[in-house]
């Protein structure tokens, strides 16, 4: 039996002592109450991964404000005191099981799949692709409104206030969703950001909002609280997007992020171990590590423990986030440790909707 020395070694992330390197990847399950409050089912769902051996879970994307940040119907929020209160039993269940929990804060930007408000975005550019059917959408996205400076300030403040609510609700940290095509990634992406002010144009300007959000959160939660950021090239509505200037962009992006002093960078690629750009031999995780010198979580098909072990051993990542393979193996860590076979993931698991299945909150 393979021993996976790196995967099963402990790790200290800020003040968080983790017993192994496997982390539950953030996954939207749109199973909160219509009010955006978390519920008992979610408490059981998240703690199940800890019981299965994961040391840390990152929640699904949570909307930070009531203005314009919600993407999906039945997505949970951290925008109000009542929503923050509703997370306390979820946090408690994870802690009782012996694990840690980080709240992912996600602003939809243009990727809105429910009625109620006109989406806002860096520019009035209609998103490519179509709405995500797994999360209850269909057809084209709406044309968003270009954000004013007041909208930008409000969004930054929304992230900071939600981070503080998360801290006060007992979460062990927050992660801002700067990846996968949502608001902060829309600012970073050249074809969705056509602004001519200080938030548009060069890569340095397009990463500016992400840096401002990190700085505002730091100010709100203090210097020692765990604050991470997730980054990707691909998007839920454009899988194959690549940063235009390859490694040069990576250097600028990860340098600027590092200057805002987050606790870690979480990179996600389709396959975490493949080279990020044709002009560079490194993975995106490796580039994040090289240019930020921060702890790095790598994600992308690392439910294959051989690949997880390899990227940890290479030093390109410190932790691995497991997504879909964890859904069908909430005890992924235990199984890998014991040399037991893993259940293969099939996308039909998420059809007709990615909402929680009964067995995910009834069987522990």
Ligand X SMILES: Cc1cc2nc3c(=O)[nH]c(=O)nc-3n(C[C@H](O)[C@H](O)[C@H](O)COP(=O)(O)O)c2cc1C
Do the Cβ atoms of 22 and 49 come closer than 8 Å? no
Tell me: does residue 301 bind ligand X (CB under 6 A).
yes
Q: Of 151, 157, 170, 294, nearest to 219 (Cα)? A: 157
Residue from 21, 44, 100, 177 that binds ligand X (CB under 6 A)? 177
Q: In the range 15-44, which residues lie near ligand X by CB under 6 A?
A: 25-28
Instruction: Give CA 34 to chain center in angstroms.
Output: 22
- If the CB atoms of residues 39 and 355 are measured against ligand X, the closer one turns out to be 355
Stretch that binds ligand X, among 5-13, 45-53, 154-162, 321-329 (CB under 6 A): 321-329
Pattern of binders to ligand X over 126-145, x per CB under 6 A? --------x-----------
- If the CB atoms of residues 69 and 198 are measured against ligand X, the closer one turns out to be 69
Tell me: does residue 299 bind ligand X (CB under 6 A).
yes
Residue from 50, 84, 354, 356 that binds ligand X (CB under 6 A)? 354
Q: What is the DSSP letter of 339?
A: T
Using CB atoms, what's the residue nearest to ligand X? 323
11 labelled catalytic = no
- Least spacing, CB of residue 71 vs ligand X, in Å: 9
- Least spacing, CB of residue 170 vs ligand X, in Å: 20
Residue from 154, 324, 343, 355 that binds ligand X (CB under 6 A)? 324
Alpha-carbon distance 148 to 266, whole Å?
29
- If the CB atoms of residues 149 and 351 are measured against ligand X, the closer one turns out to be 351
Q: Which two tokens stand for residue 311?
A: 């990227």
What Cα–Cα distance (Å) separates residue 85 from each residue in 78, 91, 96, 172?
A: 9, 10, 17, 15
Residue from 68, 203, 268, 283 that binds ligand X (CB under 6 A)? 268
The CB-side HSE value for 189 (13 A sphere, CA atoms) comes to 29
Q: In the range 147-166, which residues lie near ligand X by CB under 6 A?
A: none
- Least spacing, CB of residue 7 vs ligand X, in Å: 14
β-strand 11-13 against 16-18: which pairing, if any? antiparallel
In DSSP terms, which residues pair with 266 in a beta bridge? 230, 297
- If the CB atoms of residues 235 and 256 are measured against ligand X, the closer one turns out to be 235
- If the CB atoms of residues 74 and 268 are measured against ligand X, the closer one turns out to be 268
Other Cβ atoms less than 10 A from the Cβ of 83: the count is: 23
Pattern of binders to ligand X over 56-75, x per CB under 6 A? ----xx--------------
Do the Cβ atoms of 30 and 75 come closer than 8 Å? yes
Contacts of residue 184, Cβ cutoff 8 Å, sequence gap at least 6: 107, 109, 176, 177, 178, 209, 210, 213
Do the Cβ atoms of 100 and 55 come closer than 8 Å? yes
Q: What is the DSSP letter of 280?
A: B
Pattern of binders to ligand X over 190-229, x per CB under 6 A? ----------------------------------------
What Cα–Cα distance (Å) separates residue 102 from each residue in 91, 150, 174, 223?
A: 9, 29, 5, 16
Question: 182, 225, 291, 361: which is the annotated catalytic residue?
Answer: 182
Tell me: does residue 231 bind ligand X (CB under 6 A).
no
Tell me: does residue 100 bind ligand X (CB under 6 A).
no
Other Cβ atoms less than 10 A from the Cβ of 201: the count is: 15
Interacting residues with ligand X (CB under 6 A): 25-28, 60-61, 104, 134, 177, 179-180, 230, 268, 299-303, 322-325, 350, 354
Q: Which residues are catalytic?
A: 182
């Amino acid at each position: 039996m393979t021993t996976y020395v790196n995967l099963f070694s402990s790790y200290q992330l800020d003040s968080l002592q983790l017993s192994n390197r496997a982390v539950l990847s953030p996954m939207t399950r749109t199973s909160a109450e219509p009010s955006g409050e978390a519920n008992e089912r979610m408490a059981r769902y998240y703690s199940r991964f800890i019981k299965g051996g994961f040391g840390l879970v990152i929640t699904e994307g949570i909307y930070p404000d009531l203005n314009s940040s919600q993407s999906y119907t039945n997505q949970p929020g951290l925008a109000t005191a009542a929503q923050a209160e509703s997370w306390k039993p979820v946090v408690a269940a994870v802690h009782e099981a012996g694990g840690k929990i980080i709240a992912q804060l996600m602003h939809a930007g243009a990727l809105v799949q429910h009625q109620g408000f006109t989406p806002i975005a860096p520019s009035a550019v209609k998103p490519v692709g179509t709405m995500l059917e797994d999360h209850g959408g269909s057809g084209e996205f709406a044309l968003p409104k270009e954000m004013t400076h007041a909208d930008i300030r409000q969004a930054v403040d929304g992230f900071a206030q939600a981070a503080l609510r998360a801290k006060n609700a007992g979460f062990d940290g927050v992660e801002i969703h700067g990846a996968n095509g949502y608001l902060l990634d829309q600012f970073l992406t050249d074809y969705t950001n056509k602004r001519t002010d200080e938030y548009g144009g060069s890569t340095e300007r397009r990463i500016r909002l992400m840096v401002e959000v990190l700085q505002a959160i730091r100010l709100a939660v203090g210097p020692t609280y765990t604050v991470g950021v997730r980054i990707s090239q691909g998007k839920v509505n454009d899988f194959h997007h690549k940063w235009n200037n390859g490694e040069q962009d990576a250097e600028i992006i990860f340098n600027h992020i590092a200057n805002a002093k987050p606790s870690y960078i979480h990179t996600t690629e389709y396959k975490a171990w493949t080279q990020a750009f044709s002009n560079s031999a490194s993975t995106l995780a490796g580039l994040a590590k090289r240019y930020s010198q921060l702890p790095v979580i790598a994600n992308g098909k690392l439910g294959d423990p051989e690949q997880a072990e390899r990227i940890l051993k290479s030093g390109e990542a410190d932790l691995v986030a497991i997504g879909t393979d964890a859904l069908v193996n909430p005890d992924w860590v235990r199984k890998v440790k014991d040399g037991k076979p893993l259940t293969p993931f099939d996308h039909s698991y998420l059809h007709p909707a990615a909402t929680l299945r009964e067995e995910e909150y009834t069987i522990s």
